[in-house]
């Protein structure tokens, strides 16, 4: 399986709603970083979000699991609305997995311990069961042999795959990817994307901030283009790349696809 | 190009040039790399030669190791012999350990020591189940057991004959002293100040303004006052503020003073460690659904404390040495006991030996703490550099 293959991963989108954002606004101090974001994500849908830096893409997906707080509007995740209620925030975080640009593995724990930590302490799972699940997902991201090592001993690509496995161990309903390949050496991007494609094939609901346009074309049901805190354009990958509507989108695409 | 692709053959690795390795290489690189460096090396050797042999002579070779009294340390013409008079230190060792504690009850301190070792012993087994939990309990248990044994059970009226003979009669804290008191104060101070310091550090970084202001105020207040003032206040002034009849023990007050003083310093050390943990660690923990206490206890603190082990041990060593300040409120800790010995009419004139012995013992204690911390750092090293 490779990114270059043209055939699109079979759509697993359903009509049920996984995440809904209604008229969401957010400010950093005086700076209006998200402006009137309306977005409905269906279960099994795969969305790729792109846009120039500072456009609010990361902030938007970080609002979904409340790593950032929105000040206006509604965000409903799997039927639960995000409010200041800490219990609800924790409940939503249990259902939403997140993969970060810089992996954010816990360096003082082994790879397997990284994976088991949340199942044990959040899901209250017995250690043995958690380790079994940890090994299952490490096998799925193809690094079971690294289980006893520490993150510092792995390559960037391996660390990111561990980070994906760590999220999957919580059996999330939605996965958020915040530029998962931007910090990787070019040689390692493919191994991470392959894992993400495999995840997509299994029907995971995914929101992915990335500049990997090959990945977008292959996997996404919908590509969203953001600029200055707004959703400028959203469309199927085919339409988005071949027939962009807005001049801002055209400019962006010409800049990233030129070389 | 029409030819087939060339296959890549890596060049073999060669050994480094001979002049850069081995003893000669090391000497050249480190001691004789230039004329100035060579001169400094020779000067240093000269100074060491002038200092170390006489010190060894005084401490060991010419020292008097056996004898009964000062006359064994003196020449026939009443002048001192050339070496250290260790028989004075030997004669006073019980005094150094027990201070002014009643002679017939010193076995209770011995018993406390033995029990402490027994309580701590299981921790040497790395595979012990619930080791961390047991360790925490042991650290609290040891000073309680020790204090109970030091103190005794039965408080007799002074007229009662048992008040001076019963094996379990109480001994007031002003009679405690020597190394046993130093260790007790240091143990309580170290054991209690670390958790308090961690709480203060977390509080200071809290987003709640009142909590954070209280912690900042507390830390700055205690850091801004010399320990000696704290001890004076606790022993002299505090009783004036307390209502009539309320009186708690002088040692207890000193312990609280030492502990809070050290906690304020530790709080700042721990805060330094917390600041070194990238935000992403906390975010990853939150994203996995860990709440604040869990992400602190499982993710942030283990990493932060590991980073600041040198600073924490630094504070502990400082605390250990600061215990000598309880002398100003009339308690005879180890150094106080040494001074008692120096004032002993039977051994007048040999204070140097007492102080040298004190210095050696303090050095051994502090140096072992320092070595232990290095070993701990190595053990906790997980090969990550971020």
Nearest to B286 among A67, A102, A121 (CB): A67
Q: Residue B26 has what pLDDT?
A: 83
Contact at CB, B289 and A170, closer than 8 angstroms: yes
Contact at CB, A67 and B291, closer than 8 angstroms: no
Q: Which of B288, B293, B386 to mutate to test the interface with A (most CBs of A within 10 A)?
A: B288
Same domain, B119 and B235: no
Same domain, B210 and B347: yes
Nearest to B291 among A90, A167, A170 (CB): A90
Instruction: Report if residue B29 sits inside a domain.
Output: no
Same domain, B138 and B187: no
pLDDT tens digits, one per residue of B45-75: 999 999 999 999 999 988 888 888 888 888 8
Q: Which of A104, A109, A174 to mutate to test the interface with B (most CBs of B within 10 A)?
A: A104
Nearest to B383 among A97, A102, A150 (CB): A150
Enumerate residues 6+ apart whose C-beta is below 8 A from A212.
A3, A181, A189, A193
Rounded to a whole number of angstroms, the distance from the CA of B10 to the nearest CA of chain A is 20
Chain B residues closer than 8 Å to A152 by CB: 382-386
pLDDT tens digits, one per residue of B86-118: 989 998 999 999 988 888 888 999 999 999 999
Among the listed ranges A97-101, B148-152, B196-200, B215-219, which one has the minimum average pLDDT value?
B148-152
Same domain, B114 and B205: no
| Touching A: B residues 298-327, CB under 8 Å | 298-299, 302-303, 306
Q: Which of A121, A171, A180 to mutate to test the interface with B (most CBs of B within 10 A)?
A: A121
CA distance A206 to A203: 9
pLDDT tens digits, one per residue of B321-366: 999 998 888 888 999 999 989 998 888 888 899 999 999 999 999 9
Chain A residues closer than 8 Å to B382 by CB: 107-108, 150, 152
Same domain, B185 and B303: yes
Contact at CB, B287 and A96, closer than 8 angstroms: yes
> Which two three-digit tokens encode residue B60?
């060991």
Same domain, B114 and B151: yes
The sign of the CA dihedral B149, B154, B157, B160 is negative
Q: Residue B3 has what pLDDT?
A: 59
Q: What is the pairing mode between strands A46-50 and A205-209?
A: parallel
Chain A residues closer than 8 Å to B302 by CB: 108
Q: Which of A90, A107, A122, A175 to mutate to test the interface with B (most CBs of B within 10 A)?
A: A107
CA distance B261 to B319: 9
Burial of B14 (0-12, 13-18, 19+ CB in 10 A): exposed
Nearest to B287 among A65, A106, A117 (CB): A65
Burial code of A229-255, b = ≥16 C-beta within 10 A, e = fewer? bbbbbbbebeebbeebeeebbeebbee
On the question of pLDDT at B300 being above 80, the answer is yes
Same domain, B211 and B345: yes
Q: What is the pairing mode between strands B332-333 and A96-99?
A: unpaired
Instruction: Report if residue B192 sits inside a domain.
Output: yes
Q: What is the pTM of this model?
A: 0.85
Q: Which of B304, B275, B282 is nearest to A100 (CA)?
A: B282
Mean pLDDT of chain B: 88
A vs B, Cβ pairs < 8 A, gives 75
Q: Residues B259, B262, B267, CA angle at the centre, nearest 5°?
A: 115
Chain B residues closer than 8 Å to A96 by CB: 287
| Touching A: B residues 239-298, CB under 8 Å | 278, 280-281, 283-291, 294, 298
Rounded to a whole number of angstroms, the distance from the CA of A218 to the nearest CA of chain B is 27
Instruction: Report if residue B55 sits inside a domain.
Output: no
CA distance B289 to A53: 28
> Which two three-digit tokens encode residue B4?
């087939």
Residue of chain B whose Cα is closest to the Cα of A107: B384
Please count the other Cβ atoms lying within 10 Å of the Cβ belonging to residue A129. 13
Please count the other Cβ atoms lying within 10 Å of the Cβ belonging to residue B323. 23
Q: Residue B347 has what pLDDT?
A: 87
Q: For residues B181 and B15, which has the higher predicted lDDT (pLDDT)?
A: B181
Mean pLDDT of chain A: 91
CA distance B298 to B291: 10
- ipTM for the assembly: 0.90
Q: Radius of gyration of chain B from Cα atoms?
A: 28
φ and ψ at B154, to 5 degrees?
-95, 125
Q: Residue B4 has what pLDDT?
A: 67
Residue of chain B whose Cα is closest to the Cα of A115: B288
Rounded to a whole number of angstroms, the distance from the CA of A94 to the nearest CA of chain B is 5
DSSP state of B386: -
Instruction: Report if residue B370 sits inside a domain.
Output: no
Same domain, B130 and B193: no
pLDDT tens digits, one per residue of B154-198: 888 878 888 777 888 888 888 888 999 999 999 999 999 999 999
Q: In this prediction, what percent of chain B has a pLDDT beyond 90?
A: 51
Chain A residues closer than 8 Å to B306 by CB: 108
Same domain, B145 and B179: no
Contact at CB, B386 and A152, closer than 8 angstroms: yes
Residue of chain A whose Cα is closest to the Cα of B383: A152
Same domain, B136 and B217: no
Look up the CATH number of the domain holding residue B194.
Answer: 1.10.3720.10
Q: How many domains does chain B have?
A: 2
On the question of pLDDT at A24 being above 90, the answer is yes
CA distance B144 to B135: 15
User: What residues make up the domain containing B304?
Assistant: 173-352
Same domain, B206 and B346: yes
Instruction: Report if residue B236 sits inside a domain.
Output: yes
Burial of A220 (0-12, 13-18, 19+ CB in 10 A): buried
Instruction: Report if residue B6 sits inside a domain.
Output: no
Q: Is B80 on the interface with A (CB under 8 A)?
A: no
Could you say which of B139, B171, B203 is where a domain stops? B171
Nearest to A108 among B287, B291, B306 (CB): B306
Instruction: Report if residue B23 sits inside a domain.
Output: no
Nearest to A150 among B284, B289, B384 (CB): B384
Residue of chain A whose Cα is closest to the Cα of B282: A104
Q: Residue A259 has what pLDDT?
A: 57
Could you say which of B145, B171, B197 is where a domain stops? B171
Same domain, B140 and B253: no
In this structure, are residues A22 and A38 in contact, taking their beta carbons and an 8 Å threshold?
yes
On the question of pLDDT at B244 being above 80, the answer is no
In this structure, are residues A152 and B382 in contact, taking their beta carbons and an 8 Å threshold?
yes
Q: Which of B273, B135, B248 is nearest to B197 (CA)?
A: B273
Q: Residue B64 has what pLDDT?
A: 86
Give Cα separations from B123 to B132, B133, B136, B289 (angstroms): 9, 10, 10, 33
Nearest to B298 among A117, A151, A153 (CB): A117
Could you say which of B171, B205, B220 is where a domain stops? B171
Banded model confidence at residue A116, pLDDT cuts 50, 70, 90: very high
Contact at CB, B306 and A117, closer than 8 angstroms: no
Q: Residue B6 has what pLDDT?
A: 81
Rounded to a whole number of angstroms, the distance from the CA of B135 to the nearest CA of chain A is 20
Nearest to A153 among B284, B383, B386 (CB): B383
Q: Residue B236 has what pLDDT?
A: 80
Average pLDDT on A135-164 reads 93
Instruction: Report if residue B189 sits inside a domain.
Output: yes
């Amino acid at each position: 399986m490779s990114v270059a293959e043209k055939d699109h991963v079979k759509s697993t989108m359903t009509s049920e709603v996984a995440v809904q954002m209604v008229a969401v606004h957010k400010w950093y101090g005086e700076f209006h970083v998200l402006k009137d974001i309306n977005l409905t994500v269906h279960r099994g849908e795969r969305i790729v979000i792109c846009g120039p830096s500072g456009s609010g893409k990361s902030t938007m997906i970080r609002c979904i699991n409340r790593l950032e707080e929105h000040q206006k509007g509604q965000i409903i995740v799997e039927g639960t609305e995000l409010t200041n209620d800490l219990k609800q925030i924790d409940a939503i975080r249990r259902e939403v997995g997140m993969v970060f640009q810089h992996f954010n593995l816990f360096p003082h724990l082994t790879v397997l311990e990284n994976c088991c930590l949340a199942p044990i302490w959040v899901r209250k799972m017995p250690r043995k069961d958690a380790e079994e699940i940890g090994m299952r997902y490490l096998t799925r991201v193809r690094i079971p042999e690294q289980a006893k090592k520490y993150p510092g001993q792995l390559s960037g690509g391996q660390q990111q795959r561990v980070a994906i496995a760590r999220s999957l161990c919580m059996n999330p309903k939605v996965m958020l990817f915040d530029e998962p390949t931007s910090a990787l050496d070019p040689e390692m991007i493919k191994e991470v994307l392959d894992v993400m494609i495999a995840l997509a094939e299994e029907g995971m609901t995914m929101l992915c901030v990335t500049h990997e346009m090959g990945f977008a074309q292959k996997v996404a049901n919908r590509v969203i283009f953001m600029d200055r805190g707004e959703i400028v354009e959203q469309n199927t990958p085919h339409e988005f790349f071949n027939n962009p509507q807005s001049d801002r989108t055209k400019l962006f695409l010409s800049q990233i696809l030129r070389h | 190009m029409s030819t087939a692709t060339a296959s890549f053959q890596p060049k073999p690795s060669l050994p480094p040039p001979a002049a850069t390795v081995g003893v000669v290489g090391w000497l050249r690189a480190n001691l004789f790399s230039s004329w100035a460096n060579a001169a400094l090396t020779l000067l240093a050797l000269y100074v060491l030669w002038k200092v170390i042999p006489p010190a060894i002579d005084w401490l060991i070779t010419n020292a008097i190791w056996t004898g009964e009294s000062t006359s064994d340390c003196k020449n026939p013409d009443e002048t001192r012999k050339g070496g250290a008079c260790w028989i004075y230190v030997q004669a006073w060792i019980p005094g150094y350990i027990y201070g002014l504690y009643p002679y017939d009850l010193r076995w209770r301190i011995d018993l406390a020591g033995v029990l402490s070792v027994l309580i701590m012993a299981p921790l040497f087994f790395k595979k012990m189940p619930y080791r961390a939990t047991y360790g925490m309990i042991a650290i609290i248990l040891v000073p309680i057991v020790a204090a109970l044994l030091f103190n005794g059970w039965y408080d007799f009226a002074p007229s009662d004959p048992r008040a001076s003979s019963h094996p379990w009669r109480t001994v007031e804290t002003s009679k405690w002293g020597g190394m046993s008191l130093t260790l007790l104060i240091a143990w309580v101070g170290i054991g209690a100040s670390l958790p308090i310091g961690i709480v203060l550090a977390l509080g200071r970084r809290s987003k709640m303004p009142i909590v954070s202001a209280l912690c900042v105020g507390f830390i700055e207040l205690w850091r801004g006052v010399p320990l000696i003032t704290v001890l004076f206040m606790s022993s002299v002034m505090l009783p004036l503020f307390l209502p009539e009849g309320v009186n708690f023990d002088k040692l207890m007050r000193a312990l609280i003073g030492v502990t809070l003083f050290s906690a304020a310093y530790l709080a700042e050390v721990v805060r330094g460690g917390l600041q070194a943990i990238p935000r992403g660690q906390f975010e990853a923990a939150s994203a996995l659904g860990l709440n604040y206490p869990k992400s602190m206890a499982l993710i942030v603190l283990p990493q932060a404390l590991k980073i600041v082990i040198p600073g924490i041990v630094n504070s502990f060593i400082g605390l250990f040495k600061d215990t000598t300040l309880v002398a100003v409120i009339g308690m005879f800790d180890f150094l106080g006991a040494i001074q008692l010995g120096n004032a002993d009419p039977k051994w007048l004139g040999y204070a140097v030996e007492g102080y040298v012995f004190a210095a050696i013992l303090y050095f051994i204690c502090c140096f072992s703490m320092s070595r232990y911390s290095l070993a701990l750092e190595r053990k906790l090293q997980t090969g990550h550099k971020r």
